């Protein structure tokens, strides 16, 4: 069971308890190189200890509940919710109750490379929350799961490396757009925006722009905090890119919101 969950969801899932009424898990899983898709039912109650490895996995709760306890806070997810189920720095306890989950997994170096980490080092990428940054991001991910799930379970998709490469790039960009994160990169990487795909840069700027417009007096939001939330390595570079796109510095948008 432990080895199977590791292969399906990434990370080391150590089974800590099985509650009364727990039946046999039924999980359909598709491996496609760096990408994985699963649709699984965990009946009854299961308890896990999760330690991250080199995979980023995002789950959608279809039925039942999932509780995540990181030692400081406990989050409860139910039908319709989206959460990070595994990532390189993961270290939490997880309990499921009659849970059906659909997950998409991607090799962490693919995500880190898209984020601009030097050499695709997963150690330079850190997720700041297991929840999406917004309800729009949650809905965007659920649409992505439907699309990619249908694609990967098709008759020929997993045999075409060009398709899989495109899917991996898509997933990496959407993961980074949906979940708050930070990237530690060196000066050379920060100055080389070639590592940042243009589409992802536009998405991040648009999300940051929306946050600036939504800010209210006294809510504590700052340009630096918003830039960091959407993965920009520094406020000065964010300000430069923001001015190019919107014609004003982000501080003015924040001030006039």
Nearest to 102 by CA among 120, 119, 82: 82
Count of H helices and E strands in the chain? 9, 9
In a domain, 184, yes or no: no
pLDDT at 101: 94
Same domain, 249 and 126: no
Residue 188 lies in a domain: no
Q: Is residue 140 part of a domain?
A: yes
Q: State whether 163 and 214 are in the same domain.
A: no
CB 43 within 8 A of CB 100: no
The long-range contacts involving 155-158, CB below 8 angstroms and separated by at least 24 positions, are: 157/32, 158/30, 158/31, 158/32
Same domain for 245 and 160: no
3-state DSSP assignment of residue 188: helix
Confidence of residue 193 (pLDDT cuts 50, 70, 90): very low
On whether residue 187 sits in a domain, the answer given is: no
**Contact status, residue 33 vs residue 164, Cβ threshold 8 Å:** yes
Q: Are residues 84 and 156 in the same domain?
A: yes
Count of domains forming the chain = 2
63 with 113, same domain: the answer is yes
Q: Is the pLDDT of residue 189 over 60?
A: no
Tell me the mean pLDDT in the region 102-122: 84
Range name among 45-54, 73-82, 148-157, 181-190 with the lowest pLDDT average: 181-190
Under DSSP, the state recorded for 195 is G
Domain that holds residue 201: 197-256
The Cα angle at residue 233 between residues 180 and 164, in degrees rounded to 5: 60
Same domain, 65 and 12: yes
pTM: 0.71
pLDDT the model gives residue 166: 85
Question: Could you tell me the two tokens for 123?
Answer: 């150690």
Higher pLDDT, 7 or 245: 245
- 142: pLDDT confidence band, cut at 50, 70 and 90? very high
């Amino acid at each position: 069971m432990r080895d199977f969950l590791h292969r399906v969801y990434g990370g080391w899932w150590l089974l800590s308890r099985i509650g009364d009424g727990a039946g046999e898990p039924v999980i359909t899983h598709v491996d496609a190189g760096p990408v994985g898709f699963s649709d699984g039912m965990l009946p009854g109650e299961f308890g896990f200890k999760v330690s991250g490895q080199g995979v980023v996995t995002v789950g959608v709760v279809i039925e039942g509940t999932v509780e995540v306890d990181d030692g400081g806070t406990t989050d409860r997810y139910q039908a319709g919710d989206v959460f990070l189920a595994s990532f390189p720095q993961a270290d939490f306890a997880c309990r499921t109750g009659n849970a059906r989950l659909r997950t998409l997994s991607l090799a962490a170096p693919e995500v880190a490379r898209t984020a601009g980490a030097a050499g695709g080092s997963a150690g330079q990428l850190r997720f700041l929350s297991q929840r999406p940054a917004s309800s729009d991001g949650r809905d965007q991910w659920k649409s992505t799961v439907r699309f990619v799930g249908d694609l990967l379970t098709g008759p020929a998709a997993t045999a075409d490396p060009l398709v899989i490469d495109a899917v991996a790039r898509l997933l990496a960009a959407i993961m980074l757009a949906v979940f708050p994160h930070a990237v530690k990169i060196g000066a050379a990487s920060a100055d080389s925006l070639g590592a940042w795909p243009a589409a992802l840069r536009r998405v991040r700027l648009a999300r940051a722009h929306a946050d600036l417009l939504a800010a209210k007096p006294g809510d504590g939001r700052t340009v630096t905090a918003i830039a960091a939330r959407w993965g920009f390595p520094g406020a000065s570079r964010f300000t430069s890119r923001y001015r190019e796109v919107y014609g004003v510095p982000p501080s003015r948008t924040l001030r006039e919101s």
